[in-house]
Amino acid sequence: MSQICALDKCSRISRGQCDCCDQQLCLQHLNEHNASLINQLNPLTDEFNALSDRLNTLNIEKITGESRRKLEQWRDRSHQQIDRLFEQKCEELDRIMNEKIQKQRDEINCLQSKIADIIRNQETTRQQIDSLKATIHEIKEKMNELENTSLRVTTQRLIIDGGMISIESTAEHELDLSNLPSSCKTISRPAGSKVSICASDKYLLVHQKPNLCLVDHEINVVRETLWNYPDIYDICWCSTLDRFIINEGSNIFLFDESTMAIEKIKTIEEIKWLSCTTSEKCLFLSTNTDGSIVKKYDLLPSIKPVTEWKSPFTCTNNEWISSIQYNNEKLGLLIRNNPEKSLRMELRSVDTFDRIWTLKFDTVCEQNISFRFCSLTCNEWLVADYEKKRLLHITNDGKLKAVVPYENIPYRLTLFRNMLGISTYSPIDVYKL
């Protein structure tokens, strides 16, 4: 028996079942349903066209720019290592030859002295003359040897394995720190340990009195060495030199995580330093003074001063820069105003030091302790507010994104791959993000 169209107020005989709604419909309503489906294709086509245009206009150079800069840094470091080895071996060649020449010169000088003595005394024997002639002949033979000396240099072919560099695709995403998870691990430290922390690609560098310690991704101490200096004001990682840079307060040191060697940078003057940070090309240092000075140093081919910015360009004479941080061609500054006891963050151009934006916090600075912060993904920032026991999450355009209460007093913080390390007075809390 024929069925009636399932739609209300339609008395026509059904001609088929609609795949969309599983209803028996007449021919007219079947056509209407089909037309409705066809119409839904048009906006989908527009979206696909928009996605295609977006794909065609994708800026590959912009996406790969940061990774390419890291490859260039690796190339520069490798060239530096080759140049250093070349210079060492050239010096070794010169040293070997100079030693041979000096030995010959000493013999000639000795002989000249003997002849001068004989002439001065106006007395000699046939035996002495024969001896002198024999000695001269022997020296001539040695000179012939010296002039025909060849030094054998044995080199090994430099083997560069593609596995030395790995490339993996990662998508950078904004962090949401409004609900900070419970710390996954804690690094304990003895009393008197310095609160400064910093991370490279491989390790987290911490101070466990009396040692500097390298901590791996499993939060295990893998290496340590004695820190013989009274303080650590700040630490930053320099990927260009493949070294940590440690600010001791007056002296600036390079710390090699591979050899654990600590080397003072002699080209940096000994004054009161407070904070440090590096870009791919430069080192930036700020002074521990009112009206702070920011000095810029080239990293390659050697660390040398380039320029400096002074008050009132950096800050007023009754203010001081508590911390500086580099990120993506920008310098972040935390600035304390002494009369107002206020704290603000400024973003500056890394080249001109021109101000891009300013954000003032509601923090009241009662203690004479420097505030610190770190850069996050997507050009955002995280400030450790020890006065109010909280973290301040700042957007890339200078807005307060989130205020995160913190159980302990946070003093220093750093990103360590997919983890966040927060240094308190005693332990270091490490969170998985």
Range in 10-24, 91-105, 266-280, 351-365 with the lowest mean pLDDT: 10-24
**Mean pLDDT along residues 85-90:** 88
Q: What is the pLDDT of residues 380-403, one digit of tens each?
A: 999 999 999 999 999 999 999 999
pLDDT of 19 > 80? The answer is no
Left if phi > 0, otherwise alpha if psi is -120 to 50, otherwise beta: which for 341? left
Q: What is the pLDDT of residues 164-204, one digit of tens each?
A: 777 766 666 788 887 777 778 999 999 999 999 999 989 99
CA distance 253 to 235: 10
Choose between 106 and 285: higher pLDDT.
Answer: 285
**Mean pLDDT along residues 86-90:** 88
Q: What is the pLDDT of residues 39-65, one digit of tens each?
A: 888 888 888 888 888 888 888 887 788
Q: Which two tokens stand for residue 337?
A: 């105003």
Tokens 């000075």, located at residue: 293
Mark out the alpha helices in 57-190 (DSSP H runs).
Answer: 60-121, 126-147
pLDDT band at 216 (very low <50, low <70, confident <90, very high): very high
**Mean pLDDT along residues 232-242:** 94
Q: Dihedral (C-alpha) 361, 366, 367, 373: value to the nearest 10 degrees?
A: 0
pLDDT band at 36 (very low <50, low <70, confident <90, very high): confident
Left if phi > 0, otherwise alpha if psi is -120 to 50, otherwise beta: which for 249? left
323: which residues sit within 8 A by CB, 6+ positions away? 234, 274, 275, 286, 333, 334, 370, 371, 372, 373
As a whole-number percent, the residues of the chain with pLDDT over 70 amount to 98
Tokens 């040695």, located at residue: 142
**Mean pLDDT along residues 252-276:** 96
Choose between 146 and 300: higher pLDDT.
Answer: 300
- The confidence score (pLDDT) of residue 250 equals 94
Neighbours of 298 (CB within 10 A): 15
- The confidence score (pLDDT) of residue 327 equals 94
Neighbours of 407 (CB within 10 A): 10
Q: Which architecture does CATH list for 185-432?
A: 6 Propeller (2.120)
CA distance 19 to 24: 10
As a whole-number percent, the residues of the chain with pLDDT over 90 amount to 52
Q: What residue ranges do the domains of the chain occupy?
A: 1-59, 68-141, 185-432
One-character DSSP codes across 279-318:
-SSEEEEEESSSS--EEEEE-SSS-EEEEEE-TTTSS-TT
**CB-CB contact of 344 with 359 (8 Å):** yes
How far, CA to CA in Å, does 191 sit from each of 194, 195, 209, 309, 427? 9, 11, 7, 37, 10
One-character DSSP codes across 366-433:
-SS---EEEE-GGG-EEEEETTTTEEEEE-TTS-EEEEEE-SS---EEEEETTEEEEE-SS-EEEEE-
Paired residues of 8 in beta bridges: none
**CB-CB contact of 27 with 15 (8 Å):** yes
pLDDT of 1 > 60? The answer is no
